């Protein structure tokens, strides 16, 4: 009886820990994308915006830009916006595309790709990810200074300081979800911080599924499914293939994940099952 109970218990544990989500590759581009760091779907225009570093990760060399890619990965415009430095995170609100570009946030007309203005961030030299809340307030992380800035009406102010390893951001309602090194945390409207989970690798991209769960990436080549209750599954491990998984884009309706592979210089689309 004891032996039977042990077998049943082991079976229950195995079932509880079973992988319940997976990624199925849909397509990938050729290796022609000049160091893609971030992808932002614009589903109204049926287009993907892709930030291109096209040089050193923090070099102010004027080689960077923003590309546009069709949702099926077949049509690619690498020169939609040029003359940036090393753009990373992207955000979209009211026909304005925001790009984090080392020390400033570049505001771009999402219709014609023309640069409207550049918002300098005080003493910043490592602007990384961007998110925009439902009111149009922009949040941008400075990974080198461990800070998060808030931009309202084009005026920046320091929002959170001493967030070690800060990178990925996602504003949802009154909460700001943050990748801080390996720690996935959130700050409420009063800036009270709560830890959700510590992941095995440093966090880059953060995308909500829509049910309280998230897809979270690590630049080194990992994609995780993080449940609302704080446990996680590993969906992809591509680090041995030297295929990075940077700041992802996600279509919550079709459940398609768009992955910029950085040094692998391609975009890969996956279906979330």
Q: From residue 95, give the alpha-carbon distance in Å to each of 134, 161, 217, 257.
A: 14, 30, 27, 23
Contact 116, 105 (CB under 8 A): no
CA-to-CA distance for 108 and 122, rounded, in angstroms?
Answer: 20
Q: What is the pLDDT of residues 21-73, one digit of tens each?
A: 999 999 999 999 999 999 999 999 999 999 999 999 999 999 999 999 999 99
- Cα 108 from chain centroid (whole Å): 19
Domains and CATH numbers, the chain: 24-272 (2.120.10.30)
The pLDDT of residue 127 is: 98
Q: How confident is the model at residue 114 (pLDDT cuts 50, 70, 90)?
A: very high
Q: What is the mean pLDDT of residues 235-264?
A: 97
Q: What is the mean pLDDT of the chain?
A: 94
- Cα 234 from chain centroid (whole Å): 17
Q: What is the pLDDT of residues 163-209, one digit of tens each?
A: 999 999 999 999 999 999 999 999 999 999 999 999 999 999 999 99
Q: How confident is the model at residue 19 (pLDDT cuts 50, 70, 90)?
A: confident
Nearest CA to 133 out of 105, 162, 175 is that of 175
Q: How confident is the model at residue 11 (pLDDT cuts 50, 70, 90)?
A: very low
**Strands of 85-137, DSSP E:** 90-93, 96-101, 104-109, 115-120, 127-132
The pLDDT of residue 74 is: 98
Q: Is the dihedral of CA 201, 91, 65, 63 positive or negative?
A: negative
Largest CA distance in the chain: 74
- Residues ≥6 apart with Cβ < 8 Å to 188: 174, 175, 194
Please state whether 94 falls in left (phi above 0), alpha (psi between -120 and 50) or beta: left
Task: Annotate 39-64 with b (16+ C-beta within 10 A) or e (fewer).
Answer: bbbbeeeebbbbbbbbbeebeeeebb
Q: How confident is the model at residue 18 (pLDDT cuts 50, 70, 90)?
A: low
CA-to-CA distance for 190 and 183, rounded, in angstroms?
Answer: 20
């Amino acid at each position: 009886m004891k032996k039977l109970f042990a077998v049943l218990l082991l079976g229950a544990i195995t079932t509880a820990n079973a992988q319940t989500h997976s990624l199925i590759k849909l397509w990938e581009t050729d290796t022609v994308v000049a160091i893609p760091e971030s992808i932002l779907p614009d589903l109204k225009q049926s287009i993907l915006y892709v930030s291109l570093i096209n040089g050193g990760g923090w070099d102010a060399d004027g080689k960077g830009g923003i590309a546009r890619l069709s949702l099926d990965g077949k049509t690619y415009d690498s020169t939609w916006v040029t003359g940036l430095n090393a753009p990373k995170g992207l955000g979209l609100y009211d026909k304005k595309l925001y790009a984090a570009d080392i020390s400033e946030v570049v505001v771009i007309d999402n219709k014609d790709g023309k640069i409207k203005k550049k918002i300098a961030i005080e003493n910043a030299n490592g602007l990384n990810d961007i998110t925009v809340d439902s009111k149009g307030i922009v949040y941008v992380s400075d990974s080198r200074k461990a800070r998060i800035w808030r931009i309202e009406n084009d005026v920046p102010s320091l929002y959170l300081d001493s967030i070690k390893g800060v990178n990925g951001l996602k504003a949802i309602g009154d909460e700001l979800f943050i990748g801080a090194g390996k720690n996935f945390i959130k700050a409420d409207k009063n800036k009270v911080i709560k830890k959700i989970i510590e992941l095995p690798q440093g966090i880059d991209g953060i995308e909500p599924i829509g049910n309280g769960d998230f897809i979270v990436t690590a630049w080194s080549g990992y994609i995780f499914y993080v449940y609302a209750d704080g446990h996680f599954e590993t969906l992809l491990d591509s680090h041995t293939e030297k295929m990075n998984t940077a700041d992802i884009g996600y279509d919550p309706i079709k459940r398609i994940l768009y992955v910029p592979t950085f040094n692998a210089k391609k975009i890969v689309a996956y279906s979330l099952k």
